[in-house]
Amino acid sequence: MDDIDKAIVNRLQQGFPICESPYRAVAEQMGITEIQLLDRLKALLADGVLSRFGPMYHAEQMGGALTLAALKVPDERFDKVAEIVNAFPEVAHNYARNHVLNMWFVLATEQPEQVQTVIAEIEKQTGLTVYNMPKISEYYVGLQLEA
């Protein structure tokens, strides 16, 4: 990643305009061309530096629900259980973490009641207990990471 890539990663975390030629608008602000911005953005996505670029949807504001849940997965079954959990489209993120509760995933569903349905289905398919930890209060969300 060179300085232009870093500037793109930093700039595009902040937001993106809604206008006819938004890439051109952002490129002009940054002093690069529209083609440069698009090519580099494609490369950053292809290389996995960016996991996604686009509208970030808020499940709860859509009338749906969001929760954080954890599993205690026996080491020898970890990959298999990850496969089962990841196969659910409602699983938006999933991380391995260094704890007895070693798999932590975020469920985002369009209907609130789907959270319980998906949890029950994950428990059935894995034979493990899901520790469901929906937020009680949200104090802050929003740091941007500097490239």
Partner 1 sequence: MQLEAIDRQIIQTTQAGLPLVAEPYQAIAEQLDLSAEEVMQRISNMQQNGVIRRIAAVPNHYKLGYRYNGMTVWDVDDKHVDALGQRVAELPFVSHCYQRPRYLPDWPYNLFAMVHGKTEQDAERQIAIIAELLGSDVRRNTVLYSTKILKKTGLRIAG
Q: Does 3 bind partner 1 (CB under 8 A)?
A: no
Q: What is the largest CA-CA distance in the chain?
A: 55
How many CB atoms sit inside 10 A of residue 78's CB? Answer: 14
Q: Does 73 bind partner 1 (CB under 8 A)?
A: no
**Using CB under 8 A, which residues numbered 23 to 62 contact partner 1?**
23-24, 34, 38, 41-42, 44-45, 47-59, 61-62
One character per residue 127-146, x = contact with partner 1 (rule: CB under 8 A): ----x-xxxxxxxxxxx-xx
Q: Does 80 bind partner 1 (CB under 8 A)?
A: no
Q: Does 76 bind partner 1 (CB under 8 A)?
A: no
- Reduce the DSSP state of residue 74 to 3 states and report it: coil
Instruction: Select 90 or 122, whichever has its Cβ closest to partner 1.
Output: 90
Q: Does 110 bind partner 1 (CB under 8 A)?
A: yes
d(CA 81, CA 86): 8
State the residue for tokens 């941007």.
144
Please name the helix (run of DSSP H) or strand (run of DSSP E) that holds residue 118, with its range, or none: helix 114-126
Q: Which of 126, 130, 55, 52 is nearest to 93 (CA)?
A: 52
**Among 30, 84, 94, 126, contact with partner 1 (rule: CB under 8 A):** 94
Q: Answer for the pair 119, 69: CB distance below 8 angstroms, yes or no.
A: yes
Instruction: Select 16 or 30, whichever has its Cβ closest to partner 1.
Output: 16
Least Å distance, CB 23 to partner 1, is: 6
